[in-house]
Amino acid sequence: MREIVFDTETTGINPATGDRMVEIGCVELINRCPTGREYHAYFNPQRSMPSEAEAVHGLSTIFLSDKPLFGDKCDELIDFIGDAPLIAHNAGFDFGFLNAELQHCGRDPVCLSRMICTLVMARARHPGAKHSLDALCTRFGVDRTARVKHGALLDAQLLAQVYVELSGGRQIGLSLVADSSGEAARSPQPGASIAAGNRLFRAPRPHAPSAAEVDAHARFMAGIKEPIWATISAA
């Protein structure tokens, strides 16, 4: 299963009042494992960067002034995410900005049915705990020492690791048994049950030794000098 973990950086908190996306970072997962494929881009928001936002992500008006517009990179981004589910932390925020930028370009919005929110997952799994990305990295032992400021690609990379842990850990997608077609069989999800009528029963494998194995064992035993079991038997 292909999924995309993504994060955005913006000029503020509300696209409806003119705030724009200035950075996006995406990480591809296949069966909960990063493939190494990533997408990252900065965008010129065509407006100044508020000091409050710059303090969060460090992206200044000058830095972004020579970056492409979102519309110039839109096709690349759409091709990368494809029709995969999209995972984000506080996903409503990131989806709001992504769809606002798509709307500016005259493109269809991403359907909210594709949205997976790790904040919702974390609250359900650990109610009452802290659920920021930093807190979840600490909880799951994800190294975040490189995170001095918010950055879309770095945060997506960290979130990908957190999402795997929130989903049950890497072993949830581990498949060691091949089916008749040669493909790896999926392991049942936690809590899944298998009806008795659907169980595959296999004939027991023979475990009896062959005549040659019995003879080789007898000759080996006969060559042992003063075996301890002989003393036990005599006692």
Q: Which residues are catalytic?
A: 150
Q: Which stretches within 26-179 are classed as H helix?
A: 51-57, 61-64, 70-81, 91-104, 118-125, 133-140, 152-166
At 226, the amino acid letter reads E
Query: In angstroms, what is the C-alpha Rg of the chain?
Result: 28
| CA dist., res. 136 & res. 130, Å (int) | 8
Q: Do the beta carbons of residue 18 and residue 146 sit within 8 Å?
A: no
SS (H, E, C) 102-126: HHHCCCCCCCHHHEEEHHHHHHHHC
Scored b (16 or more CB within 10 A) or e, 11-49 reads bbeebeeebbbbbbbbbbbeebeeeeebbebbbbbeeeb
- The rounded distance, in Å, linking the Cα atoms of 62 and 48 is 9
Cβ–Cβ under 8 Å, residues 3 and 85: yes
- Residue 222 burial by Cβ neighbours in a 10 Å radius (0-12, 13-18, 19+): exposed
Beta bridge partners of 42: 23
